[in-house]
Amino acid sequence: MKPTVFKGAGVAIVTPMDENGNTNFPVLKDMLEFQLAHGTDAIIICGTTGEASAMSDEEHLDVIDFAVKTVNKRVPVVAGTGSNDTRHAINLSKEAKNRGVDALLQVTPYYNKTNQTGLIRHFTAIADATEIPMILYNVPSRTGMTITPETYAELAKHPMIVATKEASGNFSAIAKTAALCGDNLGIYSGNDDQILPVLSLGGLGVISVLSNVAPQQTHDICELYFEGKQAESLALQLKLFPFIESLFCDVNPIPVKEAMNILGWAAGECRMPLGTLSDANKALLKSELAKNGLL
Protein backbone atom coordinates (compact mmCIF):
# COMPACT_ATOMS: atom_id res chain seq x y z
CA MET A 1 0.00 0.00 0.00
CA LYS A 2 1.28 3.46 -0.86
CA PRO A 3 1.95 6.03 1.88
CA THR A 4 -0.98 8.28 2.77
CA VAL A 5 -0.27 12.01 2.63
CA PHE A 6 -3.03 12.71 5.16
CA LYS A 7 -6.31 11.29 6.39
CA GLY A 8 -9.23 13.54 7.29
CA ALA A 9 -9.86 17.17 6.38
CA GLY A 10 -7.24 19.22 4.59
CA VAL A 11 -8.00 22.90 4.15
CA ALA A 12 -7.70 24.47 0.70
CA ILE A 13 -6.66 27.68 2.38
CA VAL A 14 -7.39 31.15 1.03
CA THR A 15 -4.55 33.59 0.37
CA PRO A 16 -5.29 36.83 2.23
CA MET A 17 -4.51 40.05 0.36
CA ASP A 18 -3.75 43.50 1.74
CA GLU A 19 -5.23 46.78 0.49
CA ASN A 20 -2.67 46.86 -2.33
CA GLY A 21 -3.56 43.38 -3.50
CA ASN A 22 -0.37 41.76 -2.20
CA THR A 23 -0.20 38.64 -0.05
CA ASN A 24 -0.85 39.55 3.58
CA PHE A 25 1.64 37.27 5.31
CA PRO A 26 0.82 38.25 8.93
CA VAL A 27 -2.85 37.38 8.35
CA LEU A 28 -1.86 34.15 6.56
CA LYS A 29 0.19 33.17 9.61
CA ASP A 30 -2.82 33.73 11.87
CA MET A 31 -5.02 31.70 9.52
CA LEU A 32 -2.55 28.81 9.50
CA GLU A 33 -2.31 28.82 13.30
CA PHE A 34 -6.11 28.88 13.57
CA GLN A 35 -6.34 25.84 11.30
CA LEU A 36 -3.73 23.93 13.28
CA ALA A 37 -5.53 24.72 16.54
CA HIS A 38 -8.90 23.52 15.26
CA GLY A 39 -8.40 20.02 13.91
CA THR A 40 -7.23 20.52 10.34
CA ASP A 41 -5.29 17.48 9.16
CA ALA A 42 -3.35 19.10 6.28
CA ILE A 43 -2.73 22.48 4.68
CA ILE A 44 -3.25 22.74 0.92
CA ILE A 45 -1.54 25.94 -0.14
CA CYS A 46 -1.77 27.72 -3.49
CA GLY A 47 -4.70 25.76 -4.82
CA THR A 48 -7.77 27.12 -6.60
CA THR A 49 -9.10 28.57 -3.35
CA GLY A 50 -5.71 30.19 -2.77
CA GLU A 51 -5.90 32.02 -6.13
CA ALA A 52 -2.66 30.49 -7.36
CA SER A 53 -3.62 31.07 -10.99
CA ALA A 54 -3.37 34.82 -10.35
CA MET A 55 0.10 34.61 -8.80
CA SER A 56 3.52 35.04 -10.35
CA ASP A 57 5.87 32.09 -9.89
CA GLU A 58 7.92 34.11 -7.41
CA GLU A 59 4.92 34.94 -5.25
CA HIS A 60 3.57 31.41 -5.59
CA LEU A 61 6.79 29.99 -4.20
CA ASP A 62 7.09 32.65 -1.49
CA VAL A 63 3.62 31.70 -0.21
CA ILE A 64 4.53 28.00 -0.27
CA ASP A 65 7.79 28.67 1.56
CA PHE A 66 5.97 30.74 4.20
CA ALA A 67 3.39 28.00 4.80
CA VAL A 68 6.02 25.29 5.13
CA LYS A 69 8.03 27.31 7.64
CA THR A 70 4.96 28.35 9.64
CA VAL A 71 3.43 24.88 9.82
CA ASN A 72 6.86 23.41 10.64
CA LYS A 73 5.88 19.74 10.16
CA ARG A 74 2.88 19.89 12.51
CA VAL A 75 0.68 18.61 9.67
CA PRO A 76 1.49 17.87 6.01
CA VAL A 77 1.69 20.80 3.59
CA VAL A 78 0.49 20.09 0.06
CA ALA A 79 1.34 22.65 -2.63
CA GLY A 80 -0.66 23.28 -5.76
CA THR A 81 1.87 23.40 -8.60
CA GLY A 82 -0.24 22.34 -11.57
CA SER A 83 -0.13 23.92 -15.02
CA ASN A 84 -1.36 23.31 -18.54
CA ASP A 85 2.31 23.47 -19.58
CA THR A 86 4.09 20.29 -18.46
CA ARG A 87 7.53 21.91 -18.33
CA HIS A 88 6.18 24.76 -16.21
CA ALA A 89 4.52 22.30 -13.82
CA ILE A 90 7.78 20.36 -13.48
CA ASN A 91 9.84 23.47 -12.75
CA LEU A 92 7.34 24.84 -10.23
CA SER A 93 7.03 21.42 -8.58
CA LYS A 94 10.79 21.04 -8.22
CA GLU A 95 11.00 24.45 -6.57
CA ALA A 96 8.14 23.59 -4.20
CA LYS A 97 9.88 20.35 -3.28
CA ASN A 98 13.05 22.30 -2.51
CA ARG A 99 11.03 24.43 -0.10
CA GLY A 100 10.03 21.38 1.88
CA VAL A 101 6.45 20.53 0.94
CA ASP A 102 5.18 17.07 1.78
CA ALA A 103 3.26 16.53 -1.45
CA LEU A 104 2.07 18.20 -4.65
CA LEU A 105 -1.44 18.81 -5.98
CA GLN A 106 -1.60 18.56 -9.76
CA VAL A 107 -4.67 19.70 -11.67
CA THR A 108 -5.50 18.40 -15.13
CA PRO A 109 -4.36 20.69 -17.99
CA TYR A 110 -6.88 23.44 -18.70
CA TYR A 111 -7.76 25.38 -21.87
CA ASN A 112 -5.46 23.47 -24.22
CA LYS A 113 -6.63 20.29 -22.39
CA THR A 114 -5.40 16.96 -23.79
CA ASN A 115 -6.55 13.39 -24.35
CA GLN A 116 -6.22 10.53 -21.86
CA THR A 117 -2.86 9.46 -23.32
CA GLY A 118 -1.66 13.04 -22.88
CA LEU A 119 -2.82 13.02 -19.26
CA ILE A 120 -0.78 9.91 -18.56
CA ARG A 121 2.29 11.45 -20.17
CA HIS A 122 1.79 14.79 -18.39
CA PHE A 123 1.36 13.44 -14.87
CA THR A 124 4.01 10.74 -15.33
CA ALA A 125 6.55 13.31 -16.49
CA ILE A 126 5.93 15.46 -13.40
CA ALA A 127 6.07 12.48 -11.04
CA ASP A 128 9.28 11.19 -12.63
CA ALA A 129 10.96 14.59 -12.45
CA THR A 130 10.03 15.44 -8.86
CA GLU A 131 9.95 12.11 -6.96
CA ILE A 132 7.62 13.44 -4.28
CA PRO A 133 4.10 12.19 -3.45
CA MET A 134 1.55 13.64 -5.85
CA ILE A 135 -2.20 14.10 -5.54
CA LEU A 136 -4.05 14.47 -8.83
CA TYR A 137 -6.93 16.94 -9.12
CA ASN A 138 -9.94 16.17 -11.28
CA VAL A 139 -12.23 19.21 -11.62
CA PRO A 140 -13.98 19.13 -15.03
CA SER A 141 -16.06 22.25 -14.31
CA ARG A 142 -12.88 24.33 -14.34
CA THR A 143 -10.66 22.51 -16.80
CA GLY A 144 -13.09 21.16 -19.39
CA MET A 145 -11.78 17.60 -19.12
CA THR A 146 -11.86 14.62 -16.81
CA ILE A 147 -9.64 11.74 -15.73
CA THR A 148 -11.32 8.43 -16.58
CA PRO A 149 -11.19 5.47 -14.19
CA GLU A 150 -9.06 3.58 -16.70
CA THR A 151 -6.56 6.45 -16.81
CA TYR A 152 -6.49 6.55 -13.02
CA ALA A 153 -5.70 2.83 -13.03
CA GLU A 154 -2.71 3.41 -15.30
CA LEU A 155 -1.47 6.44 -13.34
CA ALA A 156 -1.86 4.60 -10.02
CA LYS A 157 0.95 2.26 -11.10
CA HIS A 158 3.41 5.10 -10.53
CA PRO A 159 4.86 4.96 -7.00
CA MET A 160 4.71 8.74 -6.56
CA ILE A 161 1.10 9.17 -7.73
CA VAL A 162 -0.61 8.35 -4.46
CA ALA A 163 -4.07 9.96 -4.48
CA THR A 164 -6.60 12.15 -6.25
CA LYS A 165 -8.84 15.03 -5.31
CA GLU A 166 -12.14 14.17 -6.99
CA ALA A 167 -14.38 17.15 -7.77
CA SER A 168 -16.22 15.64 -10.72
CA GLY A 169 -19.32 14.75 -8.71
CA ASN A 170 -19.58 11.58 -10.83
CA PHE A 171 -20.01 8.88 -8.21
CA SER A 172 -20.24 6.07 -10.72
CA ALA A 173 -16.82 7.05 -12.06
CA ILE A 174 -15.41 7.49 -8.54
CA ALA A 175 -16.70 4.05 -7.55
CA LYS A 176 -15.15 2.50 -10.66
CA THR A 177 -11.87 4.26 -9.91
CA ALA A 178 -11.90 2.85 -6.39
CA ALA A 179 -12.61 -0.62 -7.75
CA LEU A 180 -9.86 -0.46 -10.37
CA CYS A 181 -7.18 1.14 -8.22
CA GLY A 182 -7.76 -0.27 -4.75
CA ASP A 183 -5.00 0.69 -2.32
CA ASN A 184 -2.83 2.08 -5.12
CA LEU A 185 -4.76 5.37 -5.18
CA GLY A 186 -6.28 7.25 -2.28
CA ILE A 187 -9.38 9.36 -2.98
CA TYR A 188 -10.22 12.71 -1.40
CA SER A 189 -13.51 14.49 -1.93
CA GLY A 190 -13.04 17.79 -3.71
CA ASN A 191 -16.58 18.90 -2.84
CA ASP A 192 -17.64 19.73 0.70
CA ASP A 193 -21.21 18.61 0.10
CA GLN A 194 -19.97 15.14 -0.86
CA ILE A 195 -17.54 14.25 1.92
CA LEU A 196 -19.55 11.37 3.35
CA PRO A 197 -20.40 9.74 -0.01
CA VAL A 198 -16.69 9.69 -0.94
CA LEU A 199 -15.78 8.27 2.47
CA SER A 200 -18.35 5.53 1.92
CA LEU A 201 -16.44 4.52 -1.23
CA GLY A 202 -13.24 4.14 0.77
CA GLY A 203 -12.12 7.77 0.56
CA LEU A 204 -9.42 9.19 2.81
CA GLY A 205 -11.12 12.53 3.50
CA VAL A 206 -11.63 15.90 1.87
CA ILE A 207 -9.66 18.83 0.49
CA SER A 208 -12.01 21.46 1.79
CA VAL A 209 -13.16 25.03 1.25
CA LEU A 210 -15.51 24.75 4.24
CA SER A 211 -12.52 24.16 6.52
CA ASN A 212 -11.46 27.78 6.10
CA VAL A 213 -14.35 28.85 8.33
CA ALA A 214 -15.33 25.59 10.06
CA PRO A 215 -12.19 23.45 10.38
CA GLN A 216 -13.24 21.48 13.44
CA GLN A 217 -16.63 20.55 12.02
CA THR A 218 -15.12 19.45 8.70
CA HIS A 219 -12.52 17.36 10.51
CA ASP A 220 -15.28 15.87 12.67
CA ILE A 221 -17.31 14.66 9.66
CA CYS A 222 -14.32 12.55 8.69
CA GLU A 223 -13.24 11.51 12.17
CA LEU A 224 -16.72 10.38 13.19
CA TYR A 225 -16.93 8.25 10.06
CA PHE A 226 -13.53 6.67 10.69
CA GLU A 227 -14.60 5.92 14.28
CA GLY A 228 -17.58 3.96 12.98
CA LYS A 229 -20.08 6.66 13.96
CA GLN A 230 -21.57 6.94 10.48
CA ALA A 231 -24.95 8.22 11.64
CA GLU A 232 -23.33 11.10 13.54
CA SER A 233 -21.08 11.87 10.59
CA LEU A 234 -24.09 11.94 8.29
CA ALA A 235 -26.02 14.18 10.66
CA LEU A 236 -23.18 16.70 10.70
CA GLN A 237 -22.75 16.58 6.91
CA LEU A 238 -26.47 17.25 6.42
CA LYS A 239 -26.59 19.95 9.11
CA LEU A 240 -23.82 21.85 7.32
CA PHE A 241 -25.34 21.38 3.85
CA PRO A 242 -27.09 24.80 3.60
CA PHE A 243 -23.94 26.50 4.87
CA ILE A 244 -21.82 24.66 2.30
CA GLU A 245 -24.23 25.74 -0.43
CA SER A 246 -23.84 29.36 0.66
CA LEU A 247 -20.05 29.06 0.32
CA PHE A 248 -20.58 28.17 -3.33
CA CYS A 249 -23.27 30.74 -4.14
CA ASP A 250 -20.75 32.32 -6.52
CA VAL A 251 -17.44 31.31 -8.09
CA ASN A 252 -14.98 29.91 -5.52
CA PRO A 253 -13.18 31.54 -3.70
CA ILE A 254 -15.33 34.69 -3.85
CA PRO A 255 -17.86 33.57 -1.19
CA VAL A 256 -15.43 31.92 1.23
CA LYS A 257 -13.12 34.92 1.15
CA GLU A 258 -16.08 37.18 1.90
CA ALA A 259 -17.07 34.85 4.74
CA MET A 260 -13.57 35.22 6.16
CA ASN A 261 -13.88 38.99 5.93
CA ILE A 262 -17.27 38.91 7.70
CA LEU A 263 -15.61 36.92 10.49
CA GLY A 264 -12.91 39.58 10.84
CA TRP A 265 -10.01 37.78 9.19
CA ALA A 266 -9.01 40.63 6.83
CA ALA A 267 -8.80 38.20 3.91
CA GLY A 268 -9.12 41.09 1.47
CA GLU A 269 -10.61 40.99 -2.00
CA CYS A 270 -10.05 38.36 -4.65
CA ARG A 271 -7.72 39.30 -7.46
CA MET A 272 -9.18 40.17 -10.80
CA PRO A 273 -10.69 38.76 -12.90
CA LEU A 274 -12.67 37.45 -9.91
CA GLY A 275 -15.43 39.85 -8.95
CA THR A 276 -17.14 40.80 -5.71
CA LEU A 277 -20.11 39.18 -4.01
CA SER A 278 -23.60 40.65 -4.39
CA ASP A 279 -25.33 42.17 -1.37
CA ALA A 280 -27.92 39.40 -1.45
CA ASN A 281 -25.25 36.71 -1.27
CA LYS A 282 -23.42 38.57 1.49
CA ALA A 283 -26.65 38.52 3.48
CA LEU A 284 -26.99 34.79 2.80
CA LEU A 285 -23.47 34.16 4.07
CA LYS A 286 -24.06 36.20 7.22
CA SER A 287 -27.26 34.28 7.89
CA GLU A 288 -25.58 30.89 7.51
CA LEU A 289 -22.57 31.92 9.59
CA ALA A 290 -24.94 32.99 12.35
CA LYS A 291 -27.04 29.81 12.12
CA ASN A 292 -23.91 27.73 12.57
CA GLY A 293 -22.70 29.70 15.58
CA LEU A 294 -19.72 31.22 13.79
CA LEU A 295 -20.85 34.86 13.83
Residues with catalytic function? 137, 165
Alpha helices (H) along the chain: 25-37, 57-71, 86-98, 116-130, 140-143, 149-155, 171-181, 195-200, 215-226, 230-239, 241-246, 254-262, 279-291
- Helix/strand/coil for 90: helix
Q: Which residues contact 30 (CB under 8 A, 6 or more apart)?
A: 265
- Which of the 8 DSSP states describes residue 168? S
From CA 201, how far away is CA 180, in angstroms rounded? Answer: 12
> Residue 265: in which H helix or E strand, if any?
none
Q: How many angstroms separate the Cα of 60 from the Cα of each of 37, 65, 66, 186?
A: 25, 9, 10, 26
Q: Which residues contact 85 (CB under 8 A, 6 or more apart)?
A: none
